[in-house]
Amino acid sequence: MALTMLAIAIMLPFSFLHQAGAACTGRNPVVFNFGDSNSDTGGIVAGLGYRFPLPEGRVFFHRGTGRLCDGRLIIDFLCESLNTTYLSPYLEALSSNFSNGANFAISGSSTLPRNVPFALYIQIEQFLHFKSRSLDLIDQGVTGLFGEEAFRNALYTMDIGQNDLSGAFSGSNGGYQQALERIPLVIAEIKSSIKTLYDNGARKFWVHNTGPLGCLPQKLALPRKDDTDLDACGCLSSYNKAAREFNCQLSTLVDALNSELKDATIVYTDIFSIKYDIIANYTKYGFENPLMACCGYGGPPYNYNQGIMCLGTGYSVCTDGSKYVSWDGVHYTEAANHIVASKILSADYSKPRVNFDFFCRS
């Protein structure tokens, strides 16, 4: 075929997604999201007052929105597939729209340590406050808020763990062994969070595993003695091996919880395989630079410099981000996110294999 999947996705920005995951019918879709910068729609800006000006958001929003991307994130495309609005950050004080849920994800978040802003544990606590406050206000006669049924029928999405793994590799004592030692602790936090949500009425969960950490320009640009750790795609094997181990343990956890929590449905989605396929077969998707940041400094092969990053001073930005997988060395471009979302919505990478909109119909 002359047209690549990317070209088709650009030509059919909504219909392709809707075919993969049909929009909800008969029930207002409600989504509560927890995670890090991969799904933060502006929480870090609202919570800490950071400014993310252009070129962030340049492709779709044409302004900075608090997303670390040139446009839409995966969670944005998933919301589009439901014909609903994008998720407002929980911490946004002005113009928030919580009619379709709320986003508790904050850039930089991890699971550990658990009692610091904005760890997963804190995000769950914020949700519990949100729910309690909503129910209290309903009892006082306030209308237009979520009741118990809406919270019970909502979908609870979670995408976290990347920063925990990244932190395990950093510092003089960091490395693969340190990552292996941290993984069970991270899995335990995710388990605790899911069970807390379950104990508070949640029954439908959508859990993303972590992507190929070793393919990020940020990691590839770190000094190394030689290239013996690079795989056939040019990614760091040790980082990806740790990510695969994390994903294996996360998959095992989801299987166990699906058996333990009899009336719950917990979907595990293999983001690693989706993203690694894009890196390995980048030309098939219309990309030219799978391991090089669009926005950064230093030029080929990675265009990433820890001291001169996108949003800093002195960076350069590519003309056409649709040719790049990586936006800033850590986060994906809108073009790459669109392809990831389309594969998620196919259900081919999910266990159990159900469509993203299953919670609207069950």
Q: What is the pLDDT of residue 312?
A: 85
The mean of the pLDDT values for the chain is: 92
- Residues identified as active-site: 37, 328, 331
Structure tokens at 10: 């650009």
CA separation (Å) from 150 to 3, 63, 84, 134, 331? 42, 33, 15, 11, 32
Q: What is the pLDDT of residue 28?
A: 82
| CA 362 – CA 63 distance, rounded (Å) | 38
Residue whose entry in the numeric block shows the structure tokens 């407002």? 88
Q: Answer positive or negative: Cα dihedral of 298, 304, 307, 313.
A: positive
Helices within 200-330 (DSSP H only): 217-220, 237-260, 271-280
Residue whose entry in the numeric block shows the structure tokens 């960091």? 174
> Domains in the chain, start-ordered, CATH in brackets?
31-351 (3.40.50.1110)
Residue whose entry in the numeric block shows the structure tokens 């998933």? 78
pLDDT band at 59 (very low <50, low <70, confident <90, very high): very high
Q: Which residue has the higher pLDDT, 68 or 172?
A: 68
**Surface-to-core class of residue 313, CB atoms within 10 Å of its CB (0-12 exposed, 13-18 middle, 19+ buried):** exposed
Strand pairing category for 316-317 and 295-296: antiparallel
pLDDT tens digits, 13-44: 433 344 444 456 556 899 999 999 999 999 99
Residue 291 DSSP one-character state: E
pLDDT tens digits, 220-238: 999 999 999 999 999 999 9
Q: What is the pLDDT of residue 178?
A: 96
pLDDT tens digits, 310-351: 988 999 999 999 999 999 999 999 999 999 999 999 999 999
Cβ neighbours of residue 61 closer than 8 Å, sequence gap 6 or more = 67, 71, 72
Q: What is the pLDDT of residue 21?
A: 42
